[in-house]
Amino acid sequence: MKSHDIQLDSNGKLQHFLTIEGLKKQMLVDILDYAENFSSLGNRQAKKVPLLRGKTIANLFFEPSTRTRTTFELAAKRLSADVLNININTSATTKGESLLDMLHNLEAMQVDMFVVRHNSSGAAHFIAQHVAPHISVINAGDGRHAHPTQAMLDMFTIRRYKQDFTGLRVAIVGDIMHSRVARSQIHALNTLGVPEIRVIGPQTIIPCEAAHLGVHVYHDMHLGLQGVDVIIMLRLQRERMQGALLPSEHEYFHMYGLTEEKLKMAKADAIVMHPGPINRGVEIESSVADGPQSVILEQVTHGISVRMAVMAMALGRMSVAESNGEQD
């Protein structure tokens, strides 16, 4: 069974959010619209809404993360849910207890949602298949497979600046091969109707099947950035690389790092994005990361709204209109 086959309940509403692949355009638009409803909360004195009051959400992070885990925790708390942060390094799984045993114990504590980050592709899907029927699972990144909420916060950021996806030219630059974010971004961009998606990087870290994902492959940064509206830079994920796939970081920056000079190849109003964490001087120049075309910190802010939207849809199962009513 594919991940997207179990994401929707019998009424066609979101129960799990494991991957963007296979979801309809309207579902992605609904997530973006929900997030729009929540985006003004951060500016209010009272930042909470009661949508998930009485619900309990457990963050299960088998990989280290600060930004993603923190934004999920903030999102849950702003929805008035109770949050459990499970320290996997000290949990019973390190003492021999199986993952399923740990999940069933948490279920016995009346947990309603698991937010899962794992270094194995398919881990979130596996968990979604084995939890009780009322529980929702959100994939916060699994191996090289998917990172759907990151892709959706990126789509939210793009929509904020460019409004219409159907006239855009988007470039994703860097370590495509090892990036679960890039895979999710490509699925989301295609589903939302972006007519031209480019991936740019050295041949050794662009997968052979990239062209089958509906993208144009470039190995020359200057050519690849010509006339693009959006530039998404990716981190080099050396922890997932096997063997010498790259020359020195200095050489990589020379060829594929985003500098002010290379940025001039894109449209004058192009935005610069990065899912983080940033390696300054490796994939992006500091003056670009902190420059007027950068929306990197805004991506982090929008991550809270998007994750609120996904949680509210999965556990609340309400329409956008109903969500508006809750906040009035």
174 shares its domain with 52 = no
Compute the distance between CA of residue 292 and CA of residue 269 in angstroms, rounded to an integer. Answer: 10
282 shares its domain with 211 = yes
154 shares its domain with 227 = yes
Q: Is cis: bond before 277, omega within 30 of 0?
A: yes
Is the CB of residue 196 less than 8 Å from the CB of residue 225? no
The 10s digit of each residue's pLDDT in 35-70 is 999 998 877 877 899 999 999 999 999 888 888 999
The 10s digit of each residue's pLDDT in 162-192 is 989 999 999 999 999 989 999 999 999 999 9
Is residue 328 one of the residues assigned to a domain? no
Flag whether pLDDT at 323 surpasses 80. Answer: no
- Average pLDDT (76-87) is 93
| pLDDT bracket for residue 96 (50, 70, 90) | low
82 shares its domain with 105 = yes
Strand partners, 137: 114
Is residue 287 one of the residues assigned to a domain? yes
14 shares its domain with 118 = yes
Percent of the residues in the chain that have a pLDDT greater than 90, as a whole number: 71
The 10s digit of each residue's pLDDT in 260-309 is 999 999 999 999 999 988 999 999 999 999 999 999 999 999 999 999 99
Is residue 327 one of the residues assigned to a domain? no
Range of the domain at 10: 3-146+301-321
Q: How many domains does the chain have?
A: 2
Compute the distance between CA of residue 19 and CA of residue 102 in angstroms, rounded to an integer. Answer: 23
Compute the distance between CA of residue 318 and CA of residue 322 in angstroms, rounded to an integer. Answer: 6
189 shares its domain with 131 = no
- Average pLDDT (101-123) is 92
Flag whether pLDDT at 99 surpasses 70. Answer: yes
- Average pLDDT (130-149) is 94
171 shares its domain with 196 = yes
Q: Which residues of 267-291 are buried (b: 16+ CB within 10 A; e: fewer)?
A: eeebbbbbbbebbeebbbbeebbee
CATH value at residue 55: 3.40.50.1370
199 shares its domain with 135 = no
Q: Please write down the long-range contacts of 68-74, taking CB distance under 8 Å and 24 or more positions apart.
A: 68/117, 68/140, 68/141, 68/149, 68/150, 68/303, 69/117, 69/140, 71/300, 71/303, 71/304, 71/307, 72/115, 72/138, 72/140, 72/149, 72/307, 74/304
The pLDDT value given to residue 239 = 47
Is residue 326 one of the residues assigned to a domain? no
The pLDDT value given to residue 65 = 83
Which carries the bigger pLDDT value, residue 285 or residue 213?
285
208 shares its domain with 125 = no
275 shares its domain with 166 = yes
pTM for this entry: 0.91
